[in-house]
Structure 1
Amino acid sequence: MAVTGKLKTADNLISRGIVVPSLCTFCSRFPENHNHLFFGCDFSFMILIRMLPELNIFLLRPTIAQIYDFFEHSSTYNRREKDFGCLSISCIIYYIWKERNCRRFSGVCINSVKVICTISNAIRLKTAKWKTKDMLLERFSGI
C-alpha cells in the first residue's frame, strides 16, 4: 500500500474530507504525504541511510519506487542480495509507518536509534534460517 500511495496519510484523508492534522508526525514542518513520510522527512531518511548506507548514492532523496527499482536493476547485487535489500526496505517502511501511528494515536515517541534497532532485529529474525544470512549481514553492514 505504501508503494502505491494507498496508506491513510494526512493528505489522503484530507482529500476524502476527513479533518486531521496535516503536518508530518515526525518533523511537524511539512505536509504529510507518502513521499515525505517515506524518506523525504529527515527522521525516515536518516533511518534509511543508517541501515542501508549504499542508498546514499542518490542525488536527491529517493521515493519508495526508486529504491525498489535500484535493488531490482542493480548489477552489483546477486538475486539473494536483491531479495534481502527489498526485504529490508519493506521492514523499514513497515516500522516507520508503525512509529508514525504510535506517535499520532497514542502520543508515544521512540527515537530513531530505537526504531533502527527494532528493524534490525526484525530483519535478523526473518532471515535467521537463510543459509547466506551471515554473508548478507556482512554485505549490508547497517543491519
Structure 2
Amino acid sequence: MDKPHVSRIITSNLCVLCGERPETHAHLFFKCSYSSRVWNAIISKVGIVIPPMRWDCLLQWAATNFHHKGKFDHMMVRHAITSSVYFLWQERNARVFNNHHKEAATLSKEAMMQLRILLLHYKKPIPAR
C-alpha cells in the first residue's frame, strides 16, 4: 500500500501534513516539508546523518549500520527513527480523524521527549533540547 489514503474520510489525495503533494509513504515520511522539519530537528539533536534514500530502504539501512543492541549510539539512532515515524504517523492521523494540528517544532519536541524516556536507563547523557 503506497497511498495512505482512506476513502470516504480523506477527500483529497494531497498530503495532510503539508498539502503540497500527493500523499504516499515516501512523501509523508521524507519529502514532505512538515516531516522534513521534524526529521531535521530530531536528527540534529542525536547527531546522525541519514543519507537520502527511499522509504523502503530506511529500515534496511538502519538495521545494517546500527545493529548492535548494546551500543548506546546504535540504540539511540534506531529509537530516533522509530519515534520520528511514530509521531509523524500519529500527527497525520490526528489531522485526518480529529482535525487536530500541531506545529512541527511541538511534534519534534514530543518525539525527543519520548526518545529520552526510552533511553533513560543508559548512562550516556541524552540531548535535552
Same fold (TM over 0.5): yes
1:104 shift after superposition: 1.5
Deviations 1:51-110 (A, max 9, x none): 113325x3x4x33443333333338x8833222211111111111011111111222211
User: What residue is the counterpart of 2:78 in the other structure?
Assistant: 86
SS in 2 for 1:50: helix
Q: CA RMSD in A?
A: 2.7
User: What residue is the counterpart of 2:4 in the other structure?
Assistant: 9
How far apart are the structure 1 equivalents of 2:99 and 2:49? 31
How far apart are the structure 2 equivalents of 1:142 and 1:108? 26
1:114 shift after superposition: 0.3
User: What residue is the counterpart of 2:93 in the other structure?
Assistant: 101
Q: 1:37 aligns with which of 1, 22, 28?
A: 28
1:132 shift after superposition: 2.8
Unaligned runs of 5+ in 2: none
More helix per residue: 1
Displacement over 4 Å in runs of 4+: none
Unaligned runs of 5+ in 1: none
Contact 1:25-1:100 at 8 Å conserved across structures:
yes
Q: 1:63 aligns with which of 54, 63, 71?
A: 54
How far apart are the structure 2 equivalents of 1:70 and 1:79? 17
Letter in 2 for 1:28: G
TM-score relative to the length of structure 1: 0.70
Letter in 2 for 1:9: P
Contact 1:47-1:116 at 8 Å conserved across structures:
yes
